């Protein structure tokens, strides 16, 4: 990926007029309705062992708009409705690829209120953003400048549970360029204690941004465990710890920054016994409970659990670089790509 094609989302708070708030609320409701109706249609087809794709649901949307019952769908911009169908397609693609669970219906109370607009549905001129179906530009608090000469490709408007309004503007960021190559490599163990120490309270994302940026800047190759957090949280004792440690967020940050700066992330199979393997002599321990943070091998070597695991991961990553066995490369799935577009609250150095 070249630096000219790195896209980044910049998030800002804005204050809509009463008319804009009403229009956006209608749009949120229509987006949720279309998504749920399309999901219902695809689910019914699935039970008949048929598959309905995006094009089919798009045709359904056209038909729905012509009915008296759903004529109100014509009152909002058609683009967010089409984007909802595209997001549903991605959700099914991830499901069929065994990267996610079966798509869920959107709840009026619990689901995120948002609408996505592409270039045909907004105008950005002289630092002012105007959405389709609106006469006035949004009153945005420009807490930081967009990249010079930025040309937004996607705009996502959302409202949080507290009623605050946000707009996320996706555009190319020419300021992100590959870093000079380095021969350094590092193994990263997702140890609960260390990540928890770095990732508590409202400062968690800031800590994760700082540590992932440092790791990517200092190392050409980064070796991590291919942990499936979704399965691990089924263990109730680990739910809170894993959620707080934000392993998924850490990995996503590491991967998209590695792509930005021409680095490589190698994921070692999650069954690799990095914690139970002595990094000095290679002896494998029978058990290694989570409460054991330091241990001594029969060879006499004393290990910090997380440091030992990181050393083993690095060795495994180097072995794979040489022979290509036992691990898989950095993810390139839609979910992995979308991580590069996640909303960033500040520019990375």
- Over the stretch 11-32, which tens digit does the pLDDT of each residue have? 999 999 999 999 999 999 999 9
- Whether residue 249 is contained in a domain is answered as yes
134-138, 245-249, 299-303, 328-332: least confident range: 328-332
List Cβ neighbours of 58 (8 Å cut-off, separation of 6 or more): 82, 85
Q: Looking at residue 203, what is its pLDDT?
A: 66
Does residue 280 register a pLDDT over 60?
A: yes
Q: Say how far residue 197 (Cα) sits from the centre of its chain.
A: 22
Does residue 230 register a pLDDT over 60?
A: no
Phi-psi map region of 219: left, alpha, beta (phi>0 left; psi -120 to 50 alpha):
beta
Q: Looking at residue 37, what is its pLDDT?
A: 97
Per-residue pLDDT of 315-349, as tens digits, reads 777 666 555 444 443 443 333 334 333 333 333 33
List Cβ neighbours of 243 (8 Å cut-off, separation of 6 or more): 233
Partners of 273 in the β-ladder: none
Q: Which of 116, 173, 306, 348 is catalytic?
A: 306
Query: Both 101 and 53 in a single domain?
Result: yes
Taking the C-alpha atoms of residue 176 and residue 178, their distance in angstroms, rounded to an integer, is: 7
- Whether residue 304 is contained in a domain is answered as yes
Query: Both 155 and 192 in a single domain?
Result: no
Q: Which of 225, 249, 255, 348 is catalytic?
A: 225
Does residue 234 register a pLDDT over 60?
A: no
- Whether residue 177 is contained in a domain is answered as no
Query: Both 219 and 272 in a single domain?
Result: yes
- Whether residue 179 is contained in a domain is answered as no
Mean pLDDT, rounded, for 220-246: 59
Mean predicted lDDT score pLDDT of the chain: 80
Give the Cβ contact number of residue 244 at 10 Å.
Answer: 15
348, 340, 193, 170: which is closest to 252 by C-alpha?
340
Angstrom distances, CA of residue 251 to CA of 246, 267, 331, 340: 9, 10, 10, 12
Q: How many CA atoms lie within 13 Å of 225's alpha carbon, on the beta-carbon side?
A: 20
Does residue 240 register a pLDDT over 80?
A: no
Query: Both 119 and 263 in a single domain?
Result: no
Q: Determine whether 226 is an active site residue.
A: no
- Going by pLDDT thresholds of 50, 70 and 90, the confidence category of residue 70 is very high
Mean pLDDT, rounded, for 257-273: 79
112, 87, 91: which is closest to 102 by C-alpha?
91
Query: Both 135 and 231 in a single domain?
Result: no
Does residue 144 register a pLDDT over 50?
A: yes
User: Token pair for residue 36?
Assistant: 């749920």
Q: With beta carbons less than 8 A apart as the criterion, state whether 256 and 348 touch.
A: no
- Whether residue 180 is contained in a domain is answered as no
Does residue 263 register a pLDDT over 90?
A: no
Query: Both 231 and 323 in a single domain?
Result: yes
Query: Both 86 and 194 in a single domain?
Result: no
Mean pLDDT, rounded, for 136-163: 92
Residue with more model confidence, 304 or 226:
304
Question: Tokens 């309705």 belong to which residue?
Answer: 33
Residue with more model confidence, 199 or 29:
29
Query: Both 231 and 326 in a single domain?
Result: yes
Q: With beta carbons less than 8 A apart as the criterion, state whether 227 and 313 touch.
A: no
Last residue of a domain, one of 150, 172, 194: 172
Domain containing residue 338: 185-344
Taking the C-alpha atoms of residue 310 and residue 304, their distance in angstroms, rounded to an integer, is: 10
85-89, 203-207, 275-279, 296-300: least confident range: 203-207
Angstrom distances, CA of residue 235 to CA of 3, 122, 189: 41, 45, 20
Last residue of a domain, one of 142, 172, 202: 172
Q: Looking at residue 172, what is its pLDDT?
A: 84
Q: Mind giving me the DSSP string for 35-84?
A: HHHHHHHHHHHHHTT----HHHHHHHHHHHHTSSTTGGGGGS-HHHHHHH
Q: Determine whether 269 is an active site residue.
A: no
Q: Which of 23, 116, 172, 189 is catalytic?
A: 189
Q: For strand 154-159 and strand 113-118, is the pairing parallel, antiparallel, or unpaired?
A: antiparallel
Taking the C-alpha atoms of residue 286 and residue 266, their distance in angstroms, rounded to an integer, is: 26
Q: Looking at residue 1, what is its pLDDT?
A: 40
User: Token pair for residue 152?
Assistant: 């937004």
Taking the C-alpha atoms of residue 145 and residue 10, their distance in angstroms, rounded to an integer, is: 9
Query: Both 274 and 232 in a single domain?
Result: yes
Query: Both 204 and 334 in a single domain?
Result: yes
Query: Both 167 and 195 in a single domain?
Result: no
- Whether residue 259 is contained in a domain is answered as yes
Taking the C-alpha atoms of residue 9 and residue 87, their distance in angstroms, rounded to an integer, is: 17
57, 31, 55: which is closest to 44 by C-alpha?
57
- Whether residue 301 is contained in a domain is answered as yes
Taking the C-alpha atoms of residue 168 and residue 12, their distance in angstroms, rounded to an integer, is: 6
Q: Determine whether 306 is an active site residue.
A: yes
Taking the C-alpha atoms of residue 32 and residue 270, their distance in angstroms, rounded to an integer, is: 36
Last residue of a domain, one of 172, 207, 227: 172
Q: How many domains would you assign to the chain?
A: 2
Query: Both 161 and 270 in a single domain?
Result: no
- Whether residue 349 is contained in a domain is answered as no
């Amino acid at each position: 990926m070249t630096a000219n094609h790195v896209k980044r989302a910049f998030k800002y708070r804005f204050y809509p007029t009463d008319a804009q708030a009403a229009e956006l609320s209608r749009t949120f409701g229509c987006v949720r309705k279309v998504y749920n109706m399309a999901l219902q249609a695809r689910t019914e087809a699935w039970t008949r062992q048929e598959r309905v794709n995006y094009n089919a649901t798009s045709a359904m949307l056209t038909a729905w708009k012509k009915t008296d019952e759903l004529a109100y769908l014509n009152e909002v911009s058609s683009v967010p409705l089409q984007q909802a169908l595209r997001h549903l397609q991605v959700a099914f693609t991830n499901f069929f690829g065994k990267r996610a669970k079966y798509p869920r219906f959107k709840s009026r109370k619990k689901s995120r209120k948002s609408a996505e607009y592409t270039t045909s549905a907004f105008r950005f001129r002289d630092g002012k953003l105007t959405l389709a179906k609106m006469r006035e530009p949004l009153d945005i608090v420009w807490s930081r400048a967009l990249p010079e000469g930025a040309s937004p490709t996607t705009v996502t408007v959302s409202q949080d549970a507290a009623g605050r309004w946000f707009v996320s503007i996706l555009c190319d960021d020419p300021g992100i360029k590959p870093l000079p190559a380095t021969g350094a490599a590092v193994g990263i163990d997702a140890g609960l204690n260390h990540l928890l120490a770095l990732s508590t309270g409202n400062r968690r994302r800031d800590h994760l941004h700082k540590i992932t940026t440092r790791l990517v800047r200092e190392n050409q190759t980064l070796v991590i465990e291919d942990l499936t957090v979704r399965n691990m949280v089924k263990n109730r004792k680990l739910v809170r710890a894993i959620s707080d440690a934000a392993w998924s967020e850490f990995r996503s940050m590491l991967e998209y920054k590695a792509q930005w700066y021409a680095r490589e992330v190698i994921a070692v199979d999650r069954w690799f016994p990095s914690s139970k393997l002595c990094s000095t002599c290679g002896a494998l321990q029978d058990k290694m409970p989570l409460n054991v943070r330091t241990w001594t091998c029969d060879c006499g070597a004393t290990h910090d659990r997380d440091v030992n695991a990181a050393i083993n991961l690095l060795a495994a990553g180097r072995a794979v670089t040489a022979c290509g066995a036992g691990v898989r490369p950095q993810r390139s799935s839609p979910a992995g790509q979308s991580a590069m577009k996640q909303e960033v609250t500040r520019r990375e150095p």
